[in-house]
Structure 1
């Protein structure tokens, strides 16, 4: 009889032999199964000693494949904390790209259902501004013909165009414009105008949900649009963050401060008291030598993130234009977008967030960019758009 026939007979003879210690045999079998699953190797042959004779058993069945309870996606590498745009931008197409289209109707004749943006063109050579335009969600550009707006000015006579980056309400239905001694509110869905008297050289205007804030150089006021009354808000009009419009909040965030002492603040107030928490901004999540030196423009919140433009230091180079993203709860700065030097001063103001978590910002000269901090992707939105823009984005 051949050796392989003898092996087959002995295998059959031993199949019904029960192990002398079932519990220990079970644990050993489980241990082997776990080992085999981790290693991914085929099952090994088992050697059984019976009456001092070594008998080779048939190979054990392979363990059944393990099916995860839920599918798992491949991990996406984390984007670098300090990012830069590509040398050549792509423009994949965007509804906001129609901001530069010519005016095709007046607001009084064709009010909007919702505005995507407001745009006030400014001649880059002369600095002369044109009339404010309204881009509706139907893609048509309208002339804001229902009101004549003057430039804002401060107590020293410095003037600026009336459209501000936060003039348009988050729902795109209302626009507010600070003017000396009043704030003007336009219902874009009905083309109607209301005026609220408020003393001062008013320059700032911003929305917190349906609440309207107006400010002069030093003071911010909350305006009740039903009664027309106002109360002072204990926040800096320069540093107030436009909140996430999807979250109802009674607190107001600020991001700013003097160079070397930048802070995140959280304010809540009532007629009786004011409560403030504040934290110094934390740059330790960035590579050594990277920080924000000073902020400018409006800050914008989305979820637990705030984006604001500023002047940066990256490595050993300072005075760079850029944008910072920080945690709204802790003040930790998590991302920087380095836009370089040799640009117009304060070129790159943040205009808000889109629904996909991308930051929308101005880009010198004359354009808009979309930056996705989580991936580092930077794409163009529209070219050659000189002037001021306000988006229905928060």
Structure 2
């Protein structure tokens, strides 16, 4: 065996080694203490992502670069096509180098001193009780982790007094230039490229936000507003902030909205007009393409569109097990389930919310022991992106 072969052997032998003490138990304890905030309550500890893309360099800063620029190492899968619509994750994940892995790095500079050209991700650390444990971190496309110092965010609250972290999936704009944070009685918008802050007064307990073109849809228990990104003008819109699916960023602002209604035993998709939210159509989710007895029982977390494909976490019927964890990919036009990731019943309830899509048609999700994982439903390949990281992550498309 020559030196090159020996080096390859040693590299292969360690690339799948996982941490000896993953933070899974801490995540589960935090989840158990979170009060039920409708069916989407598990999203409070979720991770968010609509991601991928080539990393670009920032404009020259006023001070030396603290972390060298990085280039994306994510590549499309070249594996064989999956043989069936129902798939399962591997026993152990392979973790490849990825720019997002720097989310676990400490803050090195405040955002006010060095704004980003584009943010890849936001991260809010949480303690074991699910409370904020430090400021929101901003990962720029130059690999530098900044601290969000221009605003102090309070936990969101509902009418019952239940609290959750201010950072949630959907708050980071797909272009990575702005962030929208719902707060009680107002929406706080931060321009991450200038560190400027704008506050828009709104009535009610506001908890969730998701970007739809140049608007932010923000709402809570009983109302949703559409807030213009440029002017800050707000108007009510007839759509549920809990059920609305994150639109495909490439679809444009005129594209209609989709809601995934996660009713047990009868989930359905509802399309609405992008302007006022008028209902256009409604269809039940169909599992006719799945082998019996597989079916989708109920959605949870945020759904995400990629073209006409919709990905969302769900509780499923798997074999003889009712209520297993899963992730479904559907045709958003017909409601037909085309692929199903069977995650079994051994994981924590609400373990694996979908975080978005990458640029090559792979679904990004939380998957123990990964904080972020990538699933390509067309090939069945599942790989890790970021190992256990206690907190909430929102990523740009």
Give the TM-score of the pair, scaled to structure 1: 0.77
Between stretches 275-284 and 140-149, larger displacement belongs to 275-284
Output aligned runs, 1:31-70, within 5 Å. Answer: none
**Within the alignment, does 1:160 sit opposite 2:164 as a pair?**
yes
Question: How many pairs are equivalent?
Answer: 319
Q: Which runs of 5+ in 2 are unaligned?
A: 1-78
| 2:217 and 2:227 in contact (8 A); partners too | yes
Partners of 2:243 and 2:329 lie apart in 1 by 15
Mapped to 2, the partners of 1:365 and 1:92 lie a distance apart of 14
Q: Distance in 1 between matches of 2:274 and 2:388?
A: 43
The reply on whether 1:198 has 2:202 as its aligned counterpart is yes
Determine which of 224, 236, 252 is the counterpart of 2:257. 252
Answer whether contact 2:313 2:328 (CA < 8 A) is retained. Answer: yes
**Residue equivalent to 1:265:** 270
- Further displaced range: 197-206 or 254-263: 254-263
The structural deviation recorded for 1:363 is 2.2
Whole-angstrom CA distance in 2 between matches of 1:98 and 1:81: 34
Q: CA deviation at 1:215?
A: 0.7
What is the alpha-carbon distance in structure 1 between the residues aligned to residue 200 and residue 229 of structure 2?
Answer: 8
* Residue pair 2:124, 2:132 contacting (<8 A) in 1 also: no
Q: Deviations over 1:183-242 (max 9, x none)?
A: 000000001100000000000100012211101112221113444332221112111011
1:121-160 mapped onto 2 (5 Å cutoff): 121-124=125-128, 127-160=131-164
Quote the RMSD (CA, aligned, Å).
1.9
**Residues 1:115 and 1:279: Cα distance change in structure 2 (over 3 Å):** same
- Report the 3-state secondary structure (helix = DSSP H, G, I; strand = E; otherwise coil) of the residue aligned with 2:346: coil
2:86 is matched with 82
Provide the rounded CA distance (Å) in 1 between the counterparts of 2:360 and 2:326.
21
- 2:301 corresponds, among 288, 292, 297, to 297
The CA deviation string for residues 118-168 of structure 1, in whole angstroms up to 9 with x for no partner, is 011112367443211011100111101110000001001110000011010
Could you tell me how far 1:367 is from its partner in structure 2? Answer: 1.3
Contact persistence 1:129–1:161 (CA under 8 A): no
**8 A contact 2:125–2:133 mirrored in 1:** yes
Please give the TM-score of this superposition, normalised by the length of structure 2. 0.77
1:246 shift after superposition = 1.0
Is the contact made by 1:269 and 1:275 (CA closer than 8 Å) also made in structure 2?
A: no
Are positions 1:231 and 2:235 aligned together? yes
Distance verdict in 2 for CA 1:78–1:383, change over 3 Å: closer
Shift of 1:365: 4.9
Change (3 A) 1:82 1:226: same
Looking at CA atoms only, which structure, 1 or 2, has the larger radius of gyration? 1
| 1:111 equivalent in alignment to 2:111 | no
